[in-house]
Amino acid sequence: MAGELTIGGLECLFTGSVWAEGPLWVPSSRTVRWSDIPNDRILEFDPATGTTREYAVGVEYTNGRTLDADGSVVQCSHGRRRVERDSEGTVTRLVDSFEGRRLNSPNDVVVASDAAIWFTDPPYGILPGTKEGHEGEQEYGGCNVFRFEPATGVLTAVITDLVHPNGLAFSPDESVLYVADTAGSRYGVPLRIAAYSVDHGTCGPRIGALELEDGYPADGLRVDVEGRIWTSAGPSVRVYTPSFQLLDTIKVPETVSNLCFGGPDGQDLYLTATTSLYRIRTTTTDAAARTFPPNHN
């Protein structure tokens, strides 16, 4: 099915965060932007200079982010319990409540080709003692995956049968949505990636699930143009076929939280892993790059 896949060596680009998450290649600045959640800041790495700077501080604990169709950044904020847009540094609310109740702490987000924003809403930013947000109540009583239509303001709960939905990504034709569930045995469920059929913005039943071989959690994940699933998996990145056959394991010295494709040709894989940002050269690109080419401005 797939073109030949080659995966290069691991480069460490930056060390100095507490818990790095939410990497995104930002085409307009040709940088990788990511969250250092407990330090409540957003960092940015410029591959042209090899340097990292603070993009913003006091950001209310941002986590995952993605590109909108206009090139602006859509990101999750634990502290504001919302999904928001960052357009050239101006941050505005997109959605923060469901049926009149506040969201938990949106974790990760993708934008579909119809401009709908799909995001997960586990409780990690409101749990007692959290260092990734502010303690609070789960107001609507669940942890859903939501679909938000910016044009109409309609928010729909599309998946309600996962315990702590976390990373998510569409297959290249957007007919399947993969969602990691990081709840685990404390909640009586396996650490897993669940697959759901999707049709015209409607999510169907679960059609499959992967339990990682050695019990590592999958947090953030991406899908490449060939439909392969690239997921964080403890101190590694795993690559799977669309039907969850393991293709490759990339060992990393720290626990990996999330990843993104980027770079000048979209074939660099950037990893956020605890204190560090890493890069791996590949021969593939993100599935969504067809909609959002990595070099568009």
Contact between 77 and Mg ion per CB under 5 A: no
Q: Which residues contact 226 (CB under 8 A, 6 or more apart)?
A: 1, 2, 3, 5, 172, 284
Contact between 166 and Mg ion per CB under 5 A: yes
Q: Could you tell me the smallest distance in angstroms from the CB atom of residue 194 to Mg ion?
A: 15
Contact between 36 and Mg ion per CB under 5 A: no
Q: Could you tell me the smallest distance in angstroms from the CB atom of residue 65 to Mg ion?
A: 11
Q: Could you tell me the smallest distance in angstroms from the CB atom of residue 107 to Mg ion?
A: 5
CA distances from 16 to 21, 46, 272 (A): 13, 16, 12
Strands 97-98 and 101-102: antiparallel
Give the C-alpha separation, 16 to 98, whole Å. 36
Supply 29's token pair: 């600045």
Site for Mg ion in 90-119 (CB under 5 A): 107-108
Supply 27's token pair: 């085409």
Q: Kindly tell me which residue out of 84, 86, 219, 224 binds Mg ion, with binding defined by CB under 5 A.
A: 219
Binding region for Mg ion (CB under 5 A) out of 170-178, 215-223, 241-249, 285-293 = 215-223
Give the C-alpha separation, 96 to 93, whole Å. 7
SS3 content of the chain, % helix, strand, coil (to 5): 0, 50, 50
Binding region for Mg ion (CB under 5 A) out of 54-62, 160-168, 244-252, 272-280 = 160-168
Give the C-alpha separation, 112 to 120, whole Å. 14
Binding region for Mg ion (CB under 5 A) out of 27-35, 158-166, 189-197, 206-214 = 158-166
Q: Could you tell me the smallest distance in angstroms from the CB atom of residue 142 to Mg ion?
A: 18
Query: Would you tell me which residues interact with Mg ion (CB under 5 A)?
Result: 107-108, 166, 219
